[in-house]
Amino acid sequence: MFTAIRIPAARTLPFAGRRAFSDYSPFGRLATSPAKPAKVAVLGATGGIGQPLSLLMKLNPLVTDLALYDIRGARGVAVDLSHINTNSTVKGYAAGEEGLKATLQGADIVLIPAGVPRKPGMTRDDLFNTNASIVRDLAKAAAQYSPEANMLIISNPVNSTVPIVSEVFKARNVYNPKRLFGVTTLDVVRASRFISEVKGTDPAHHNITVAGGHSGLTIVPLLSEKYPEIVGETRDALVKRIQFGGDEVVNAKESMGSATLSMAYAGARMANSLLRARAGESGISEPAFVESPLYKAAGVDFFASEVELGPEGVKEIHALPKTNEYENELLATALQDLKANIKKGIDFTKSNP
């Protein structure tokens, strides 16, 4: 039985007094030294998400070894980042088996933002055929060279790519559901920002549960728990904006890319929370798309909700807060879509091992 427990959020930022630049980072004020050595690997390090994500990882004081991989340009990005005066080493590796092996061996966290970005008119599912193959191949390498790492999947569609990684790891007998995460942190980041705009407040004050998955109608903001006063057209518009915030960015960039900077921030925050939990800090929770018991009875094996993190990855999956009728309808739609998304990923892996 999973009981909803409210845990102090890892994302809470200080908002009293004057803020330093680092107060806005996903890891807060810089520490003077790391708690323990940690290697982070970024697969897809030269892309629109990969470069700013790698930069944030270079700035993180908990990272001692940063390894970058991509089909081209990883060495150049690594040299560029290596000039930053933080106490970590950065190495970039060329495409191929040897490069993947060097990148992944000894990694504590593997971030996968690799893949093609969305363009106007494209859904995350439109990306599936290309990104599914990329994620499958990278997962094969990770299963061989870093099977005990925490795997953070950013490549879209997350609802399908996470099951792909799970099937690849299962086929090689190294699957650990506590170590596999679909990064849905961006949905909560957007929600806190968008709510602050509605209420005219500081986003640091807002922390809500966003459940389900990481695309369109599978994204379910549970506003009623903390904001029962937001109703009617205001609520409907806010929910839609949170669900389709990615489209807002794609359209604004006019075919020049998708949500890269905000996604890099969200990925860095998730990685930092895992690093903190790995170092022994308690009470850290983040939203994540993980293998979950919450809706297994409905045939949905993966679900995004608040997850407490520990040294082994997932420590506890918390039940959803109390929901109202409006949110129950959103969840019903999300579950239907999620079931199809998850099946799509599993079927792809079985057909394309």
Check whether 258 is labelled as a binding-site residue.
no
Please, which residues have CB within 8 angstroms of residue 70's CB and are 6 or more apart in sequence?
A: 43, 44, 45, 46, 47, 50, 77, 95, 114
72 is in an annotated binding site: no
Instruction: Strands of the chain (E only): list them.
Output: 39-43, 65-69, 89-93, 109-112, 150-153, 180-182, 209-212, 219-222, 285-291, 302-310, 313-317
Closest of 44, 25, 338 to residue 184, by C-alpha: 338
Q: In whole angstroms, how large is the CA radius of gyration of the chain?
A: 19
The answer to whether the annotation marks 216 as part of a ligand binding site is: no
Q: Answer yes or no: is 179 a known binding residue.
A: no
CB of 289 closer than 8 Å to CB of 214: yes
**Residue among 269, 241, 126 at smallest CA distance from 184:** 269
Residue 213 assigned ligand-binding role: no
Whether 263 has a binding-site annotation, put simply, is: yes
- Please indicate if the annotation marks 190 as binding a ligand: yes
Identify whether 157 is preceded by a cis peptide bond (ω within 30 of 0). yes
Query: Which residues lie below 8 Å from residue 220, measured CB to CB, with a gap of 6+?
Result: 210, 211, 212, 327, 330, 331, 334
Is 92 annotated among the ligand-binding residues?
no
Out of 83, 206, 214, 318, the active site residue is 214
Is 35 annotated as a binding-site member? no
Residue 318 a catalytic site member: no
- Of 182, 149, 147, residue with least CA distance to 163: 182
| CB hemisphere CA count around 142 (13 angstroms) | 34
Residue 193 counted as an annotated binding residue? no
Say how far apart CA 169 and CA 217 lie, in whole Å. 28
Orientation angle between helical segments 185-199 and 261-278, nearest 10 degrees: 120
Whether residue 89 is annotated as binding a ligand: the answer is no
Q: Is 346 annotated as a binding residue?
A: no
C-alpha to C-alpha distance for 101 and 98, rounded to whole angstroms: 5
Which residue ranges are tagged as binding site for substrate?
Answer: 118, 124, 156, 190
Q: Binding site: which residues?
A: 44-50, 70, 118, 124, 131, 154-156, 190, 263
Query: Which residues fall in the annotated binding site for NAD(+)?
Result: 44-50, 70, 131, 154-156, 263
Catalytic positions, written as ranges: 214
